[in-house]
């Protein structure tokens, strides 16, 4: 005779089983397969051959990998700083009542509607040195034109601009939700005590927003470190390797050069970096105590 508690657990598992199976097939199995493949050398000519840690040791001596790593960190650091700053400013603006606020909020959310690869292709046309709208406006303002995606000095910057344009609304939306969750009584009490705007920001807004800031930092860090779509659509990692990121480098090694084992090793190094940075965020940002 099955007890009531065991029967309830079985029923709960039956509801969760489809989701668990889907996650296992779509996420866990590919991850484990990629990890296994990272210990093999696989080419079309030679097939699959076990080589142990050779792929990981080769990464240590790969100068292109270090360039891609530097570009990835530079990309992530700059876009996160800019997106957090702009997102916080826009969130504070939209947290106030003014005519047309809903329309402004809707317009600011438009960049999020497009997929990253579509955004990259659209901006590639806008960056075009011959008929792109950016150089057109530069000409109208008597400013020097640029070959944005074809210049090693501006290629990575061009990718950053696209990411900032697309994901600042995402940061803004989450921070706005955090701002709207702050009790108005907190600000009213601060005003009675004579607190100014800076003190209210320092002692009320920022402490209450810390949990949401942590979430945004985690999401944007993980997403920006594994950036692929915009860079691949805009520059393909070029010119040369000036805008090459780890995501694009892994793709190039795996699906252009067909070194699938080496590409898998790069992917796992990228995953490890993401995990370590995420742990650092969680351990370093303390949630405020609320009474």
CB 182, CB 258: distance < 8 Å: no
* 11-18 contacts, C-beta under 8 A, 24 or more apart: none
Residues 109 and 90: their CA atoms lie apart, in Å, by 11
Residues 89 and 109: their CA atoms lie apart, in Å, by 15
pTM, rounded to two decimals? 0.86
Measured between its terminal Cα atoms, the distance across the chain in Å is: 48
| CB contact set of 160 (below 8 Å; sequence gap of 6+) | 75, 78, 79, 82
| pLDDT given at position 4 | 67
Domain ranges of the chain: 41-284
**Maximum Cα interatomic distance, the chain, rounded to a whole number of Å:** 85
pLDDT tens for the 291 residues of the chain, in order = 556 667 677 777 777 778 778 777 777 788 888 889 999 987 767 778 899 999 999 999 999 999 999 999 999 999 999 999 999 999 999 988 888 888 988 898 999 988 999 999 999 999 998 888 998 998 898 888 888 999 999 999 999 999 999 999 999 999 999 998 888 888 778 877 777 778 888 888 888 888 889 889 989 998 999 999 999 999 999 899 999 999 999 999 998 888 989 999 999 999 999 889 888 877 776 554 544
For 21-71, strand residue ranges (E) read: 40-43, 47-50
Residues 192 and 184: their CA atoms lie apart, in Å, by 13
Q: What are phi and psi of 49, to 5 degrees?
A: -145, 125
Q: In this structure, which topology does domain 41-284 adopt according to CATH?
A: MetI-like fold (1.10.3720)
């Amino acid at each position: 005779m099955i007890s009531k508690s065991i029967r309830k657990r079985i029923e709960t598992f039956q509801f969760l089983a489809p989701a668990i199976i889907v996650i296992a097939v779509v996420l866990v199995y590919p991850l484990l397969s990629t990890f296994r493949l990272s210990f093999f050398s696989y080419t079309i000519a030679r097939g699959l051959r076990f080589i142990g840690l050779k792929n990981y040791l080769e990464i240590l001596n790969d100068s292109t990998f270090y360039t891609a790593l530097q570009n990835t960190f530079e990309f992530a650091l700059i876009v996160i700083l800019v997106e957090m700053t702009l997102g916080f400013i826009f969130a504070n603006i939209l947290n106030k009542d003014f005519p047309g606020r809903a329309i402004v909020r809707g317009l600011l959310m438009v960049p999020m509607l497009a997929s990253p690869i579509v955004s990259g292709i659209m901006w590639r046309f806008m960056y075009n040195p011959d008929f792109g709208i950016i150089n057109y406006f530069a000409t109208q303002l008597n400013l020097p034109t640029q070959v944005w995606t074809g210049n090693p000095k501006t290629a990575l910057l061009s990718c950053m601009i696209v990411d900032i344009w697309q994901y600042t609304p995402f940061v803004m939306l989450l921070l706005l939700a955090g701002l709207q969750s702050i009790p108005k009584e907190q600000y009213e009490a601060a005003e009675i005590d004579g607190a100014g705007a800076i003190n209210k920001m320092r002692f009320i807004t920022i402490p209450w927003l810390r949990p949401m800031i942590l979430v945004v930092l985690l999401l944007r860090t993980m997403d920006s470190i594994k950036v692929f779509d915009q860079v691949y659509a805009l520059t393909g990692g070029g010119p040369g390797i000036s805008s090459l990121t780890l995501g694009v480098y892994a793709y190039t090694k795996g699906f252009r050069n067909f070194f699938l084992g080496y590409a898998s090793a790069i992917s796992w190094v990228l995953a490890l970096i993401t995990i370590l940075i995420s742990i650092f965020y969680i351990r370093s940002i303390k949630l405020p105590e609320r009474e």
